[in-house]
Amino acid sequence: MAMANSAEELVFNPPELVAKNAHCSSMEQYREMHKESIKDPEAFWSKIAKEFHFENNSVGKFFEYNFDITKGPIFIQWMKGSRTNICYNCLDRHVLAGKGDAIAFYWEGNDPADRNSVTYAELLSEVCQVANFLKSRGVAAGDRVAIYMPMIKELVVAMLAVARIGAVHNIVFGGYSADSLCDRIVDAGAEVLLCADGVWRGNKLVHLKEIADEAMKMCSSRGVEVRLNVVVRHMTRVTHPASLHDTSNGHPAKKTHFDHQVTWNSDVDVDWETATSSSSSECPVVWLDSEDPLFMLYTSGSTGKPKGVLHTVGGYMLYAATTFKYSFNYHPGDVYFCTADIGWITGHSYVTYGPLLNGATSVLFEGVPTYPHTGRFWEIIERYKVSKFYTAPTAIRTLMKYGDEPVKKFDVSSLRVLGTVGEPINPEAWLWYHRVVGGGNAAIVDTFWQTETGGHVITPLPGATPTKPGSACFPFFGISVCLLDEAGEEIEGEGEGYLVFRQPWPGMMRSVYNNHQRFQETYFQKFPGFYTTGDGARRDKDGYIWVTGRIDDMLNVSGHLLSTAQVESALVEVEQVAEAAAVARPHPVKGECLYCFVTLKQGEKFTEELVADMKNKVRSKIGPFAQPDYLQLAPGLPKTRSGKIMRRVLRKIAVGDRDFGDITTLADPTVVELLFENRPANA
């Protein structure tokens, strides 16, 4: 496929400061390590496994799998027979090594006045108390425990406590509706819930306990009784947003706490503090088989009904730890800040497990990037001297709208590595991140991965990889990337096709919870012998991988296959455009034509001239055939709670069809109606 792409020619060498002390400091070294990881995964990963605690000190049967559905059921096993516990490796290992006083997390509340920190030793004793309490209430290895909490220390404590006793956590983003929470509890068959009373996100109050109560009622009518709900009383200890208004005179904000009323059902509800503080702060771990389940987590639902992805203990642990260490070039002394919510896989692997397995110090942030001002991230980076920062393109595009000023107000010169994840990042946004946030001195790592992959699968390594804006660059250790055409033929060298992986890696999912059939059909049916990601990708002449977006979202205009990323990046290059989403609409002559939704930067007007500019931009960047037939102004785009554009909904709007499918994971469903009502007259 023809593709004009100037970003392909733009190459940024690893910044000197980063390359100097990198775990992997040259492409040569990367290639050598990658080669070994593919040819001899056992040799590669058993070296890494030695850095962790395995109770029987063996590495079990290292690695067995079937990726070919025509030969039998799909299965993947790493180190089966080895016994370990991820909580032990996250906490006890460091405390026993004398590092108990190191800060595990700086907690930064929604309100900048609410801050504290917790050490590894403190975390361990709190985890043990909660683990002991759960045991005393009959929670045992293999039981599923649902968690519905905001970004507070107790969320980390909860997941580690569950993991410590061998139970399986099922974390639901604190803010999903009662319906979604109920679906996930029922699907998991969870009898125990850990939640909080509520949370402020910016000025918005989310009544978590109320939602949880409603969800539990729904569960009951669907035959699943939640018998225990442990509730963190969070609202009584945080500052009410209104108190910020007192800061105009330069005095510190007056703390006004909020009397948040919740209904209490004493048959089920217990107060977290009372219940756990009297428990012993020592609790032996339950040793699990490497292949025992660790957690289940639902995908974002961008392409359809969310899938309950199942991960196991041993392989996930090795992979989360190793990707964290290499992709961010983590070293002791770093302060790391990942803005993702723990309710998503990014939070599981890169707020909790990856950092803790490496003994890192992180920032845990409860709030939103624009509250109380649009420089909040940068303020936090300045305060804690953050050196490694990880966020999503959607956040970068949002913050770009406010220009460079909010960044310039703060000293962010401590930054060394800037990560992004979630969607393809437009070169425009990449360059802004690099130039304005990184001051040109930080390495950008565009990490491609999925809930299913457990950790990064395509990513630059900060000290080694020369980067190209918008490319996720090269496969991580253990990942054998392959591009296939529709017929399943491998595309060698330059070209574009289905992004698939030829062999398993430790952190990959093992099944869809309770639905192995769906697992096999979704990921292994289309191309026997390969794991199919569902995304498309292009390999350029230098071997760089460019993830182009979902295969389901591909555009086929007059026989030309186009990716959403390609069209959207062109539109975002127009000065006034903040964000764009392109979808296909059936066309009698062209087969499909382009229907694009665009969000403008603050204060910009949607004029005829601008529409012409946008059309011209796409014509000149891609080709005349790609000129959009429809351009609609979008005050907002339908996004999942994790910030991804849901193009399947936009496709429906483009053809005037209200049958939107599963939209339970949308952050703001009202946007859909708004866009529907404001379709252009010619549509």
Contact set with Mg ion (CB under 5 A): 299
Toward ligand ATP, which CB reaches closer, 132 or 533? 533
Look up residue 601 and give its two tokens: 């930067």
Toward ligand ATP, which CB reaches closer, 303 or 511? 303
State the nearest-atom distance from the C-beta of 643 to Mg ion, in Å.
14
Toward ligand ATP, which CB reaches closer, 358 or 533? 533
- Residue 632 contact partner, candidates ligand ATP, Mg ion, none, CB within 5 to 8 A by sort of partner: none
Toward Mg ion, which CB reaches closer, 299 or 640? 299
Toward ligand ATP, which CB reaches closer, 92 or 535? 535
DSSP letters, 142-185, are T-EEEEE--SSHHHHHHHHHHHHTT-EEEE--TT--HHHHHHHH
Element (DSSP H or E) covering residue 96: helix 93-96
Look up residue 597 and give its two tokens: 């939704």
CA angle 258, 259, 262 (to 5 degrees): 125
Exposure of 80 in the CB half-sphere (CA atoms within 13 A): 8
DSSP letters, 613-643, are HHHHHHHHHT-GGG--SEEEE-SS--BBTTS
Question: Residue 55 to residues 52, 99, 131, 676: CA-CA distances in angstroms?
Answer: 10, 21, 20, 58
Distance from chain centroid for Cα 411? 27
- Residue 471 contact partner, candidates ligand ATP, Mg ion, none, CB within 5 to 8 A by sort of partner: none
- Residue 472 contact partner, candidates Mg ion, ligand ATP, none, CB within 5 to 8 A by sort of partner: ligand ATP
Toward ligand ATP, which CB reaches closer, 158 or 472? 472
- Residue 301 contact partner, candidates Mg ion, ligand ATP, none, CB within 5 to 8 A by sort of partner: ligand ATP
Residues that bind ligand ATP (CB under 6 A): 299-304, 306-307, 345, 421-424, 446-451, 472, 533-535, 547, 550, 642, 644
State the nearest-atom distance from the C-beta of 547 to ligand ATP, in Å.
4
State the nearest-atom distance from the C-beta of 131 to ligand ATP, in Å.
29
Look up residue 485 and give its two tokens: 């055409």
- Residue 424 contact partner, candidates ligand ATP, Mg ion, none, CB within 5 to 8 A by sort of partner: ligand ATP
- Other residues' Cβ atoms within 10 Å of the Cβ of residue 270: 16
Query: Which of 448, 148, 192, 476 is CA-nearest to residue 322?
Result: 476
State the nearest-atom distance from the C-beta of 430 to ligand ATP, in Å.
11
Toward ligand ATP, which CB reaches closer, 210 or 662? 662
Toward ligand ATP, which CB reaches closer, 153 or 456? 456
- Residue 349 contact partner, candidates ligand ATP, Mg ion, none, CB within 5 to 8 A by sort of partner: none
Query: Which of 476, 437, 195 is CA-nearest to residue 354?
Result: 476
What whole-number distance in Å separates Cα of residue 73 and Cα of residue 65? Answer: 10
State the nearest-atom distance from the C-beta of 643 to ligand ATP, in Å.
9
Q: Could you tell me where the DSSP H helices lie in 390-549?
A: 393-400, 405-408, 427-432, 516-524
State the nearest-atom distance from the C-beta of 110 to ligand ATP, in Å.
24
Look up residue 308 and give its two tokens: 């309950």
State the nearest-atom distance from the C-beta of 642 to ligand ATP, in Å.
6
230 in helix, strand or coil? strand
- Residue 426 contact partner, candidates ligand ATP, Mg ion, none, CB within 5 to 8 A by sort of partner: none
State the nearest-atom distance from the C-beta of 18 to Mg ion, in Å.
31
State the nearest-atom distance from the C-beta of 300 to Mg ion, in Å.
7
Tell me which amino acid residue 571 is: L
State the nearest-atom distance from the C-beta of 390 to ligand ATP, in Å.
11
- Residue 535 contact partner, candidates ligand ATP, Mg ion, none, CB within 5 to 8 A by sort of partner: ligand ATP
Toward ligand ATP, which CB reaches closer, 81 or 534? 534
Look up residue 48 and give its two tokens: 């890494």
State the nearest-atom distance from the C-beta of 449 to ligand ATP, in Å.
6
Toward ligand ATP, which CB reaches closer, 361 or 564? 564
Chain position whose Cβ is nearest to Mg ion: 299
Question: Residue 264 to residues 161, 274, 549: CA-CA distances in angstroms?
Answer: 24, 14, 46
Q: What are the φ/ψ torsions at residue 327 (nearest 5 degrees)? A: -65, -30
Kindly give the pairing relationship between strand 115-119 and strand 103-108: antiparallel
Toward ligand ATP, which CB reaches closer, 216 or 565? 565
Is the bond leading into 586 cis (omega within 30 degrees of zero)? no
- Residue 644 contact partner, candidates Mg ion, ligand ATP, none, CB within 5 to 8 A by sort of partner: ligand ATP
- Residue 157 contact partner, candidates ligand ATP, Mg ion, none, CB within 5 to 8 A by sort of partner: none
- Residue 127 contact partner, candidates Mg ion, ligand ATP, none, CB within 5 to 8 A by sort of partner: none
Is the separation of the CB atoms in 420 and 433 below 8 Å? yes
